Amino acid sequence: MIIDLTGYHAVVGGATRGLGLAIAQQLAESGASITLLARNQAKLEKARDSLAAGAGQKHDFLEVDFLEFDTFRDHTTSFFENKKVDILVNNTNGPQAGTVEQKSTEAYQEAFDLLFKTYHHLSHLLLEGMKERGFGRILNVASVSVKEPMPNLVLSNSIRSAVVSWAKSLAQAAAPYGVTVNSILTGAFDTERIRELTEYQVQGSDKSLEELMEARKAAIPAARFGKPEEYGYLLTFLASPQAAYITGASIPIDGGASRGL
């Protein structure tokens, strides 16, 4: 199967590093034009320059801070007015790690603004155009923690669960118009984020960062972290016309680490 996204326009959040960048690069390899979203212009320029650019492709970026929702809403609404977008990858930096005892009500509100309100705003901003054209793909980067909550990721556990539930409802409403909505339940990948989360675990532990990283790998049946490009392969398929009958799904990609059904 050859996936050809020539002529499609994709928007990818959190696209200057890690999984977001890998998704953007793979979509571009398949022919899509990409608009990158992140908060650092220099990193956005570097990420844009890393994308494959063939005939007809035009890559762009929007500097925007997902943590400042009101500004994020205003800038994205203005930027995407009258722009054709076929594929939306909802992705942001993750909320701070921490346990249920450590997080305040205010922290949950900040995580809700970051993870839920940004996803909701972009999806509904771009959905009407997708419906009018009879094609659209909304892909939500979530986490396996929505099924198996992690003690030190209580904000992510809680808010990403809400995202997945909302996405299921959105999928049902959008399906008659040729628009699919799916959530990706992300496991451990070889990115800066997994190292940052493991560094948090070092606090109060008698183990080193390297020991904890190896323990993480050992808990995965595949005995390794995922490669970012492998994540990009899955998202690119789900973004393609070939995935038209897959919607409302929550798809784990975790090397077999999830133990639940």
Written as one string, the DSSP assignment of the chain is: -----TT-EEEEESTTSHHHHHHHHHHHHTT-EEEEEES-HHHHHHHHHTS---TT---EEEE--TT-HHHHHHHHHHHTTT----EEEE--PPPPPB-TTT--HHHHHHHIIIIIIHHHHHHHHHHHHHHHHT-EEEEEEEEGGGTS--TTBHHHHHHHHHHHHHHHHHHHHHGGGTEEEEEEEE--BSSHHHHHHHHHHHTT-SS-HHHHHHHHHHTSTTSSPBPHHHHHHHHHHHHSGGGTT--S-EEEESTT-----
Q: Say what the pLDDT of residue 196 is.
A: 83
- Per-residue pLDDT for the chain (261 aa), expressed as one digit of tens each? 999 999 999 999 999 999 999 999 999 999 999 999 999 999 999 999 999 999 899 999 999 999 999 999 999 999 999 999 999 999 998 888 888 999 999 999 999 999 999 999 999 999 999 999 999 999 999 999 999 998 889 999 999 999 999 999 999 999 999 999 999 999 999 998 888 888 877 777 888 888 889 999 999 999 999 999 999 999 999 999 999 999 999 999 999 998 887
Please say whether the beta carbons of 196 and 252 come within 8 A: no
Domains and CATH numbers, the chain: 9-187+228-252 (3.40.50.720), 190-225 (no CATH)
For 63, phi and psi rounded to 5 degrees? Answer: -80, 115
Q: For residue 238, what are the CA distances in angstroms to 55, 170, 232, 244?
A: 23, 16, 10, 8
Q: Say what the pLDDT of residue 135 is.
A: 98
Angle CA 45–47–51, to nearest 5: 115
Q: Say what the pLDDT of residue 194 is.
A: 86
Q: Say what the pLDDT of residue 205 is.
A: 80
Residues 6+ apart with CB under 8 A from 69: 113, 114, 117, 118, 121
State pTM to two decimals. Answer: 0.95
